Amino acid sequence: MQYQDKSNKDHLDIIIGPPGQEKLIDSLYLCAEKHNMCIDEAWSKHVENKADNLMKPFLSFDSFSDIFTVFLGEDIYVQDYFLSHYNAFSSNGMLMARIKNPDDRNKYKAPALNFQTKNLIDVNGNPINIRRFDSVRRKQIQDLFMLIFNASWVYVTISYDYMPIKKEAV
């Protein structure tokens, strides 16, 4: 099997929608009020805390390494992730650009977990091929992460073979 180099151009993103359960929403409002932040910031912090806990190795199916190992059918070690945000979605999960009526756009800053291939390692210490997260596996990850994070929606995307445009000297 050919392995990619340990670059950061290939990655898996898990974009997490707003909370889906009323009890969680109420808890986030209380947390946001207590810490003087908006609810989106409180939700992002909640996602980050849960993701940090999923980085810790446990003895059962509750770490990123365990989750990806099950989905890919081989031992995978997740070395790291980073939290980013997407501003392209409405709170209902639709892309803002596809919503024609501006009054229907409910801006949402969606937290996203980014896993670079250099941080998704097989037993030999090589990065996995990001294309192994095919559409079926991405859908399975999407369904699982909706449950794990109690989110109203989740999108899972991959990016590979990205080549930045070289700027020409003027």
Residue 1 lies in a domain: no
The mean per-residue pLDDT over the stretch 39-59 comes to 84
User: 122: which 2 tokens?
Assistant: 């097989």
Which structural domain range is residue 57 located in? 11-159
Structural domains counted in the chain: 1
- Binned at pLDDT 50, 70 and 90, residue 92 comes out as low
- CA 150, CA 159: separation in Å to the nearest integer? 25
Residue 53 lies in a domain: yes
Find the helix packing angle between 39-54 and 22-34, rounded to 10°.
110
Residue 23 lies in a domain: yes
Residue 170 lies in a domain: no
Q: What percent of the chain has pLDDT over 90?
A: 41
pTM score, two decimals?
0.80
Residue 49 lies in a domain: yes
Residue 145 lies in a domain: yes
Residue 4 lies in a domain: no
Can you spell out the DSSP letters for 96-156? GGG--SGGG--EEEEEEEEEEGGGEE-TTSPBPPGGGS-HHHHHHHHHHHHHHHTBS-EEE
Choice between 25 and 11, residue whose per-residue pLDDT is larger: 11
CA angle, 49 then 84 then 123, to 5°: 75
Residue 135 lies in a domain: yes
Q: What is the pLDDT of residue 65?
A: 92
